[in-house]
Amino acid sequence: MDLIILGQWHNLSHHFVRARNKSDILFHRTGINVAKSASKDSPRSIAREVARLILTGVWREGTTLPREIELASRFDVSRASLREALSLLKAKGLIASKQKAGTHVRARFDWNMLDEELLNWTLSALPTQEFAKQILEVRRIVEPEACAICAVRGTDEDFARIERAYRGMDAAGMDRVAYAEPDLQFHRGILIATGNDFLIAFGATVAAALRMSFDLSSTNPGAPRKSLPYHRAVLDEIWARNADGARQAMHKLMDLTEQNIVSAMSRQKKKDAEDENVRTRRTR
Amino acid sequence: MDLIILGQWHNLSHHFVRARNKSDILFHRTGINVAKSASKDSPRSIAREVARLILTGVWREGTTLPREIELASRFDVSRASLREALSLLKAKGLIASKQKAGTHVRARFDWNMLDEELLNWTLSALPTQEFAKQILEVRRIVEPEACAICAVRGTDEDFARIERAYRGMDAAGMDRVAYAEPDLQFHRGILIATGNDFLIAFGATVAAALRMSFDLSSTNPGAPRKSLPYHRAVLDEIWARNADGARQAMHKLMDLTEQNIVSAMSRQKKKDAEDENVRTRRTR
DNA sequence: TAGAAAATATGTCTGACATAATAATTCTTG
DNA sequence: CAAGAATTATTATGTCAGACATATTTTCTA
């Protein structure tokens, strides 16, 4: 049955089949690709891999996953390390364990999608079309309001920090990579200025969203820079302590972001289709 | 120096002092109270206790906490169990470890306050005045918009589920306890109907908020029931697929919730002050 | 059908060694 | 002799192995 140890999965492929009983799931070769490796920092990378299997629906909600000893041997680590990986996933609400009953995938509603790591895992594991829409929808709800609060409640030091971030973006010029960090600091600075711990925690979601935007911008390196004047507008309204203006300015920035993402994704799609074409022609 | 094992802390008190070097923090008797115990489900309750120490500022951002062996012996568990507790806190962004360097408390910005467990720990560990304000501020931002989206995008099954939750609230009558669960289902139902995984994940925050409201309502058992017509109004607008109406109705419900919390907290404060009075008079 | 017994997966403990970052030491050099 | 660079020693986390405890589930028996 070509059983493959997960630890040796590098550049191999996988699938899963129902076997003798519910929790007896085996891996064997098929045509589906698998993430590169699980080599270093075992517990975290194992958590990531298990999360991937859950997020992509290989292990659906309610599924009982293989027992710890078996998983440990598949990932080629000790049971202790595996348990640490599982406990990370427990903390993020993906799984739950009961003595003797085993470990099962929790209902989707219980997954803490606002967790930064889980967010990053998700956006590297799933096709980002639907995902991008959703994340932008939430940003559109939260960030303009946070911006309004920031304008009213923020201190001058808060504003100065955001200003510094803006200067960093400006200084980055057309350099996508250098632009990314201060961009995040800009948005995070606004959230921090609200003084609301929950809005601050939302920074993790924004970070993941910006990372996604960054990845997408590879097909259009000039796009990020275009957002600069929109950021300036937001900042000006904040300095003016104009809540409504800040809200609207941030809303416009969100509009621009949406445009960039939509166009980038259609480009991406087109590119993928072309690549696929080339590949099939080649294999013929 | 009166060193106390944490596992035996029941009804004792603690404080911490700087000792020989940075990470050498010892506990000894002072006048500050400590949570009851850490008896069952060790890793989770230990995580809770460590989280409490961090949240209350005993272990500030950047602090290097005692080494694992020492912590383990203080909590009277094996190093394995302690490590599992720490790994939960790592997953929630509270701490990070580096080999040899030790385990330190991460910056507040990195704490995932939108995590349900962490939220619950926070609201049982901290005076809830400021906390309640913040959580309500976020709800006020998110829920009305989610409600508007729900009205537009939700399916009839979604609405039916919310309707069932409403009926459950109605059926609960004046019973605070029976009212709580369908109340949560109502709000969660709206989030679920948006079809947005991130808004759905926000349900954890709402759950914690409602739990807090529930705890506060003990001083005014009739308060929850008063929200029923406001919920009905929300539901009617949703059924009518009226986005603006739904948004406004939810906004009004948030207003009411705020009133309840504010008045409950002032009552609470008054009551606490009286209790304190009685106690000091007694000890004289 | 109900209750008792067996099986089994997670939970916990112990002790050991590996590894990497820090602290202490030695050595070199101006 | 002092300052700095390179080396060694220390130590806290990371990982491993094996064992036993405990709580459910499953199976067997009355």
Contact A141 B146 (CB under 8 A): yes
Nearest C-alpha in A relative to B205:
A198
> Which residues are A13's β-sheet partners?
A33
Structure confidence at residue B40 as a pLDDT band (50, 70, 90): low
- Determine the pLDDT at residue B11: 25
At B133, give phi and psi (nearest 5°). -60, -50
Q: pLDDT exceeding 70 applies to what percent of chain A?
A: 83
CA–chain centroid gap for B70, Å, is: 29
**Three-class SS of chain A:** CCCCCHHHCCCCECCEECCCCCCCCEECCCCCECCCCCCCCHHHHHHHHHHHHHHCCCCCCCCEECCHHHHHHHHCCCHHHHHHHHHHHHHCCCEEEECCCEEEECCHHHCCCCCHHHHHHHHHHCCHHHHHHHHHHHHHHHHHHHHHHHHHHCCHHHHHHHHHHHHHHHHHCCCHHHHHHHHHHHHHHHHHHCCCHHHHHCHHHHHHHHHHHHHHHHHCCCHHHHCHHHHHHHHHHHHCCCHHHHHHHHHHHHHHHHHHHHHHHHHHHHHHHHHHHHHHHHHC
State whether residue B93 is helix, strand or coil: coil
Task: Give the mean pLDDT of B89-106.
Answer: 96
- Nearest CA to A46 among B87, B269, B56? B87
Q: What is the pTM of this model?
A: 0.84
- Nearest CA to B259 among B234, B233, B224? B224
User: Which carries the bigger pLDDT value, residue B127 or residue B115?
Assistant: B115
Could you tell me if B198 lies within 8 Å of chain A, comparing CB atoms? Answer: yes
CA distance B146 to chain A (A): 9
Residue B34 pLDDT exceeds 70: no
Task: Please enumerate in sequence order all residues whose Cβ is within 8 A of that of A237, keeping only pairs 6 or more positions apart, or say none.
Answer: A147, A151, A245, A246, A248, A249
Q: What is the pLDDT of residues A158-183, one digit of tens each?
A: 999 999 999 999 999 999 999 999 99
Q: Residue B90: list chain A partners with CB under 8 A.
A: 88, 91
Residue B148 pLDDT exceeds 70: yes
Residue from A92, A113, A161 to probe the interface with B (highest B Cβ count within 10 Å): A113
Task: Please enumerate in sequence order all residues whose Cβ is within 8 A of that of A230, keeping only pairs 6 or more positions apart, or say none.
Answer: A249, A252, A253, A256
Alpha-carbon distance of B26 to A130, in angstroms, equals 51
Task: Give the mean pLDDT of A29-51.
Answer: 62
Q: Residue B108: list chain A partners with CB under 8 A.
A: 197, 200
Report the amino acid identity of residue A229.
P
- Determine the pLDDT at residue A190: 98
Alpha-carbon distance of A103 to A119, in angstroms, equals 22
> Which residues are A98's β-sheet partners?
A102
What are A68's two structure tokens? 């710890």
Q: Residue B109: list chain A partners with CB under 8 A.
A: 188, 192, 200, 203
